[in-house]
Amino acid sequence: MLVLSRQRDETIMIGDEIEISIVDIRGDKVRLGINAPTRIAVHRKEVYEAIKRENAQAARLGMTDLDSLAQTIQPGPARRAQRDDANKAPKTHNPAASLGATTVRPFISPNTSSQDKNSA
């Protein structure tokens, strides 16, 4: 660990992008100002450790946890009606429809001659 002595309004640089300034010193408390790019997360250590714990816990969720969560969350009225309509429709196997595919038709300009239309 590198230990540096700094006084109020003095700065420490970490690399080319992170600047730590001593903003205030009152008794046994030191206030730091940290200037870093937004892509670099800056947290107090206790917050950082809590985030790590939460992430580790979320990564351990199993299928039973997801199933119980799915039972707790109910769809809104629009989604419920959409689901009910889909259940009433006759079941046909159309893989393109399940992927949300659309039919593409060639565009024929109204200004083309009948000969052009026949060749399209």
Same domain, 56 and 34: no
Residue 113 domain-assigned?
Answer: no
Task: Encode pLDDT of 14-43 as tens digits.
Answer: 999 999 999 999 999 999 999 999 999 999
**Domain final residue pick, 58, 73, 88:** 73
At residue 100 the predicted structure's pLDDT band, cuts being 50, 70 and 90, is: low
Residue 1 domain-assigned?
Answer: no
**How many domains, in total, are found in the chain?**
2
* pTM, two decimal places: 0.48
Same domain, 37 and 47: no
Residue 37 domain-assigned?
Answer: yes
Residue 79 domain-assigned?
Answer: no
Q: Report CA-CA distances (Å) from 108 to 21, 102, 103, 117, 118.
A: 67, 18, 16, 7, 10
Same domain, 38 and 53: no
Residue 59 domain-assigned?
Answer: yes
Residue 102 domain-assigned?
Answer: no
Range of the domain at 67: 43-73
Return the residue matching tokens 């009225």: 77
